[in-house]
A and B are shown apart, each in its own frame.
Chain A
Amino acid sequence: MTAPPDDLVALLSRAAIEPAAPEPLRVLTPQDWANLATMQGYQLAALWLEHDRVLGLVLLDDWVLPVATIGGESAIALMRSAHPALALAQRHGDFPEASGEGIYQIGEGPVGGVIAEPMHRRLHLAGDCVVRADHRFGYAHRGILALIGGKSPRAAARFAARIAGVSAVAHSLAFARAAEAASGAVLPAQIEPLRDGMAAAERCVAALLALARLAEICAAPRLAATLIALRTDIANAAEQIFYHRLMMDMVVPGGIDTVPRLSALPSLIAILQSVRPALQRFGAWRWRRRWADLAAPVRLRVWQAIHAAEAACASFARFGAAPSTEPWLVALPSISGAGFGQAPGLDGPVYCWMRLEAGFIDSCAIANAGLAAIASLESTAPGLTRVAFERRATLLMPPIGMIDL
């Protein structure tokens, strides 16, 4: 294992092999990193070897671009998308050309094609068979890291919560943990189990929605409606407790922003307990023939939903057993320091690294291991029919907000 350099810009702890990961992630080899580091304009800022995995951050100009567990071209594309100048430069062209007899291209984007998302997908096809799939991002860059810089962690938390609505708690939690680590804040015992429970409930919702999306495109509207109704019930219960259907803005550096309405917690637990029977009753199994080409990822999403629901219930039970007279929110000491935070997301951890100067954010990087799904999607595309590829993309594509910070 290589020790991290003294002037460590970030330490991205362990590789993103959560039980939730949909595929083994492509991980850069040391040689890949060496190649990356010599690319013009890029500078390897931090490198951390853990077991057989290499994770790190890259500097481009003054931008810290998190690149974790993402390999090859996608890593470069994602780095570019995080940088506004390059995001603009890559908006047109820059797609590799696949040549050969009978190969043609289809472009899909927010104006043409069926996708309403701010991204550009280019498919090379031979007949109905995908030869190559590429994605380009950058359209939805909101300047989040720049907005976070210079603010106190508490003031900046609302930006972290809005990186991606489907993982608002996970991003907020990683951000909060980084700020707490950087400032040396010590939290009351009751906080972490509650925050863990919220993050797990959110993962359950994300898995249900991924399945619902698939049910929609597989013409199984009743199943989709059942899954969405379950998600809506969870959102309604979450609103009762945390005053927000997506639980946004509750997890903040130092604890929980507003005293939750705990009397409503049992109703959320009851809904989460109904996830396993609901999925077993209506579940993916009955619809297996419709998505035979996706059996493994569908099974995984079903398992994720059940596992996350049960993890949430277990965390809420731990929370119930913790002392409840302590404060919900502690002030962060206004000191200088750096810290690393991590929180589980649906397809792997969310990482956050932060450096504070006298209590204000001097530098911050946020990476979501779920982005590795894009590399996996592209690398497994060749040979699939277009329909099969689009189903796969529907199930695995991470929200664009996670990519275009």
Chain B
Amino acid sequence: MKIPHPDPTIGAALAQRLAAEGRVRPTGGLAIRHIDAGSCGGCELELRSVRAWQAGLAAYGIRFVDDPRTADILLVTGVATQGMAEPLRRTLAAMAGAKLVVVMGDCAVDGGVFKDSPAVLGGVARLIAVDLALTGCPPAPEQVINGLLAALAS
């Protein structure tokens, strides 16, 4: 996989925002808890490719974890359905770390093609504050890695 350099402006903007809100930025790597909030599974396919880039992720201290209590980043895919509102809130509440929220895919960003359905909330930001949005349906693996590196650089 070709990983271009992350866009420094994304990291800088994120850092500025975290500082303005008085929030702690993640240190010593990133532990990511992924949650599917009503995805078609397409974003997860690309996430699999990201996770397969294990050596590269490990070099940056990025790892995926199962337990939200040990996670710094909540990575959300999917439209944020009505049914997933409570699990999403609870997962975020369970996180003890820096609590960055990264949304992946057009569905999670603003509901994507499903945004007019009453069964969906129309994007994760309607429910919880989002720090970084990775657009695309689905975003390419390189784009996701760049986003994560930018979050790390924040």
Contact = CB atoms under 8 A, between A and B. Distances in A.
Interface of A: 84, 87-88, 91, 109-111, 113-114, 116-118, 138-144, 146-147, 158-159, 162-166, 168, 209, 212-213, 221, 224-225, 228-229, 231-232, 235, 245-246, 248, 399-401, 404
Nearest to A137: B83
B135 interface: no
Interface of B: 1, 33-46, 48-49, 52, 54, 66, 68, 78-79, 81-84, 87, 90-91, 94, 112-114, 116-120, 137-138, 140-141
Nearest to A109: B87
Among B39, B54, B90, max chain A CB count under 10 A is at B39
Given A140-B39, A158-B113, 10 more contacts: A111-B68, A116-B66, A140-B83, A142-B120, A162-B112, A165-B45, A165-B138, A168-B40, A212-B52, A400-B41
Nearest to A84: B119
Nearest to B119: A143
Contacts of B82: 88, 141
A139 to B, nearest CB: 4
A209 B87 CA distance: 27
Contacts of A212: 48, 52
A139 B83 contact: yes
B38 to A, nearest CB: 4
Given A164-B41, A401-B39, A401-B40, A209 B48 contact: yes
Most buried by A among B36, B44, B117: B36
Nearest to A225: B52
Contacts of B38: 118, 139-142, 404
B81 A118 contact: yes
Contacts of B84: 110, 118, 139-140
8 contacts: A118-B87, A140-B81, A147-B116, A212-B52, A231-B49, A248-B137, A400-B36, A404-B38
Contacts of B33: 116
A248 B46 CA distance: 14
Contact of A118 (B36, B52, B113, B137): B36
Contact of A88 (B36, B42, B83, B117): B83
B83 A228 contact: no
Most chain A beta-carbon neighbours within 10 Å: one of B44, B54, B116, B140: B44
Nearest to B94: A111
A111 B39 contact: no
Given A84-B119, A164-B41, A142 B81 contact: yes
Contacts of A140: 36-39, 78, 81, 83-84
Given A84-B119, A140-B38, A141-B83, A165 B44 contact: yes
Give me the 3 closest cross-chain CB pairs, A-B, nearest first: A165-B42, A143-B119, A143-B117
Nearest to A117: B36
A365 B116 CA distance: 20
B97 to A, nearest CB: 16
